[in-house]
Structure 1
Amino acid sequence: MINFGAVTVVRASLTKHPTGLNHPVKSLPSETFASPPAQEALRVIGRLREAGYFAVLAGGCVRDALLGRIPKDFDVATEATPDSVREVFGKRNTLAFGASFGVIGVLPPKAKKGVADQLPSSPDIADSPENAKDKLLPTEVATFRADGNYSDGRRPDSVTYGNAEADALRRDFTINGMFYDPVSAKVLDYVGGLDDLQSKQLRTIGEASRRFDEDKLRMLRAVRFMVTLQLTMEADTMSAIQEHADSLSVVSGERIGAEMRRVMVQTDAPRGLELLVEIGLADQVWPVLKEATWTRLKAAFEKMPTRSFEIAMATTLLVVHSSHAQAVKDLTQLTKRWKLSVAEQRAIASALTHAPSILSCEAIPWSELQPILIDRDIEAIMGTAVSLAETEHANGLSRAREDLQLEPAKLNPPPLLTGTDLIQAGYSSGPHFRLWLMQLRQLQLDGEIRDRDDAFKWVQSQPEV
């Protein structure tokens, strides 16, 4: 047995079926199973075990629990085939969204069913009043399998159902290849994941080149795991990535973007970005990173007030590029490549444009600063400004922060006149309306025009259109 912090675990024999492991061990921390998704996963395992099928928690949730983290997702692996899983829970209570790869989604119960689970510390989630309001997602239940060839570099061409050992051996990294049996309170490790987790090492299961040939995105996932879990990369794993880095080009930009979103929100994101350059992935992910000044980027991330994708992206773009135009051009390319949403692209672009203005806003007119402060993406703008701020920008940041605390009537007073007001006053509408109203707004904000009467007097003074 291996001691892993407060948890004692059992290394599974590569030749012995897991049900034959009878060593008493402590369970994972109780808080691991406190969330509704965890309780639902335990309910699913309980039903499968009642039906005579071996079932366990699998993958990332086991890894995170062993690291003392609260898992967000709980996946179940079982010897039951997809058809058998649907028989146990009923077709109306399941979704066959990955049946061809042995994955079935089990829906949470809609009403109190009175199912008596046999798992320790796992109350029947159907009895919980929180179930309805939490709107639980389906629990993924995957049949133990061994994969065939991956001709498209993403999905196996065929799958063969097998046992827990075969299922562990086809996974990507050792830290993701462990199972947890909540009935016997055992961690089942066929791949040496526990040793690697203890030594904070990222290593592929089996031959690294083969794992990356199967799914090219695993190379980028390796970087993400290193950043999110504070790991170092085993030498053979790193060499294999360097050898296969160019093949990441076959992966869709959307999948690459999904991984990069998870990298960019980490405190140690600059380390991950620098690693992309070191192992040769930057050309396929974000080429301009090869021009980055890492000390400056790391300093900016250390000052970052909020870990958001938009702030991290805007900060990186402004640090890496020497001009606003270059940053915007790069953002346009990444938006297409990574399939950024309209909201993401807009927030990043706003931060690129306005964060520098915030830093130098100490002496600018209120009519120039106020539109920035009421921008819908002000959080991204201010977060980027704080990240990039140097000592000489203290007064600008201070002014912006103070003004953001103004009461709404002062921060964003209603306009003195609208287009409707001008029409009702007998003015013919046209392009000049927009110019007039924009100039009136500037004069209002700067205190040069204070009421409607003065506003109309100013309009009357304008040349005839």
Structure 2
Amino acid sequence: MSIVNTVARFFPSLIGGRKAKNAVDEIKPQILQRKEHGISRRQLSENALKVLYRLNNAGYQAYLVGGCVRDSMLGAHPKDFDVATSATPEQVNQLFRNSRLIGRRFKLVHVLFGREVIEVATFRTSPKEEHNSNQASTGDSGMILRDNVYGNIDDDAMRRDFTINAMYYAVDDFTVLSYAGGYQDAQDKLIRLMGDPETRYREDPVRMLRAIRFAGKLNFEIEQKTKAPIEMMAPLMEQIPAPRLFEEVLKLFLSGNALVTYRLLREYKLFGELFPLTEQCVADDEFAARFVEQTMINTDTRIQAGKSVTPYYFFAALLWPSLQRVQAEFLEQGIPPQPALHKAASRVIEQQLKRTSIPKRFTIPMKEIWDMQSRLERKKGKKAAEAAESNRFRAAYDFVLLREQCGENLKGLGDWWTQYQETDEYKEVAANRQPDERHTKKRRPRRTNRGTPNDRQRSRRSEP
């Protein structure tokens, strides 16, 4: 697709009443010199720079793009580095022995440097009707189903989601190419969609979540036209595959900005699209609302202190109000407490899986944390030592503290277990506790040039 046609699709106001030449002139990037953008190579991944240099030396255009450029410009330290290039995925794969092709709906390359992965994507353009259906296609609602039509850097910039992500860093002359006012929006702390918001959200409803995530992460404002359609279009989230939404949930809440992100999601009616049962509880139950907010606060506190947060603990906390509500229904039917808990856990998880998939390696410990809550109430005789032997003891204990922190009266249960952990009995149990092999990740044989199912699910990451 030509640059003019790309502009016509995403920026129709630029075309109306003007000659095509002027439209092309308007999308020429702003070229920022080193002293203007302030990005130093010392901020950047050495491995990402190696990828750029090798692509450049092979005669291809190659740039760092998106979030790593934006965050470096803002003085942050990005963890992920994405490269956009004129080379096709096959050409990139041939150039790097330590790489693999992944994705079908959005084909790209992962270049592997130990644990660090540099993601390399070919410049894309917006698909036209005459393009082969194997290259690009959209659904009846306008959502992009496949996107493997290649273009040049100008085309690639115009199809990105937000202006602050349409910035490209060149290692050959240390300049940054900023499209559609991205640099100025970054300085103004503004999140602005490229093109018509309704069209862009229909193409990929996850862009609504990304707008919220960037607002929470960067403390930016969402531009008026960009945020106006979100509440109305929130139901489009039902079109997104559950595995992809699971990955988005981890990005939304496990980055150190969970509380502000959660409040924004509720404001724009998106939280209920991700956690419908939890939203129902929060909307009409004061304890549930307090419990979810405190979960977000505690999550942020841990991450900002450099501690980890396991997804299974986070999901267990987020679904706890729903679990209690469903368990109460079973108790009213005369079902004993523990069977009622188990039936409630199965129902709540089954319902949640319709929106966000949760891998089995997480659902099993979630159920164990819930089950441990009643076990921790039994402290007489050998019951305490037996509970402490569980590999879920620490997570279950933290869960008890969270419940008490939110005002639930557990009759001093948290204090009792805090003191118990100072006893010789507990120290002996902890020293002899064995690792739980059921949840130990097994090493798989390395496969070349093929992505794992999870890789393929995550492969549409064109907009860092």
Aligned pair count? Answer: 367
- Look up the match of 1:247: 236
Any unmatched runs of 5+ in structure 1? 1-12, 109-133, 415-465
Shift of 1:45: 0.8
- Look up the match of 1:298: 293
- Listed as ranges, the matches of 1:53-452 within 5 Å are 53-86=60-93, 89=95, 92=97, 94-98=99-103, 101=106, 103-107=108-112, 134-137=114-117, 139-148=118-127, 150-152=137-139, 155=144, 157=146, 159-288=148-277, 289-292=279-282, 293=286, 294-303=289-298, 306=302, 307-319=309-321, 322-323=324-325, 325=327, 328=345, 329-335=347-353, 337-355=355-373, 358=376, 361=377, 364-390=379-405, 395-407=412-424, 410-411=428-429
RMSD (Å), alpha carbons: 3.5
Q: Is the 8 A contact 1:63 1:176 kept in 2?
A: yes
What SS does the aligned partner of 2:172 have? coil
Change (3 A) 1:378 1:222: farther
Any unmatched runs of 5+ in structure 2? 1-24, 129-136, 303-308, 329-343, 433-464
Q: Distance in 1 between matches of 2:411 and 2:88?
A: 63
Q: Is the 8 A contact 2:29 2:178 kept in 1?
A: no
Q: Is the 8 A contact 2:189 2:219 kept in 1?
A: yes
Q: Distance in 2 between matches of 1:208 and 1:193?
A: 16
Change (3 A) 1:82 1:264: closer
Q: Distance in 2 between matches of 1:411 and 1:165?
A: 63
Q: Is the 8 A contact 2:192 2:222 kept in 1?
A: yes
What SS does the aligned partner of 2:78 have? coil
Change (3 A) 1:27 1:409: closer
Letter in 1 for 2:310: S
Shift of 1:247: 1.9
Deviations 1:214-239 (A, max 9, x none): 11222233333333333332222222
Q: Is the 8 A contact 2:295 2:314 kept in 1?
A: no
Deviations 1:362-417 (A, max 9, x none): x8414333333222222321222222224766842232123234456743799xxx
Q: Is the 8 A contact 1:62 1:180 kept in 2?
A: yes
Which one is further off, 67-76 or 365-374? 365-374
Q: Distance in 1 between matches of 2:297 and 2:147?
A: 46
Q: Distance in 1 between matches of 2:90 and 2:361?
A: 41
Letter in 1 for 2:167: M
Q: Is the 8 A contact 1:297 1:316 kept in 2?
A: yes
Shift of 1:167: 0.9
Query: TM-score scaled to structure 2, two decimals?
Result: 0.68
Q: Distance in 1 between matches of 2:70 and 2:35?
A: 20
Identical counterparts, % of pairs = 27
Q: Distance in 2 between matches of 1:378 and 1:170?
A: 49
Q: Bigger radius of gyration, 1 or 2?
A: 1
Higher relative contact order (CA 8 A, sep 6+): 2
2:43 to 32, 36, 48: 32
Q: Distance in 2 between matches of 1:249 and 1:279?
A: 15
Q: Distance in 2 between matches of 1:348 and 1:241?
A: 32
Shift of 1:344: 1.1
Shift of 1:46: 0.7
Change (3 A) 1:164 1:311: same
What SS does the aligned partner of 2:125 have? strand
Letter in 2 for 1:297: V
Change (3 A) 1:158 1:265: closer
Q: Is the 8 A contact 1:311 1:383 kept in 2?
A: no
Q: Is the 8 A contact 2:192 2:223 kept in 1?
A: yes
- Look up the match of 2:441: none
Which one is further off, 41-50 or 276-285? 276-285
- Look up the match of 1:4: none
Change (3 A) 1:219 1:375: same
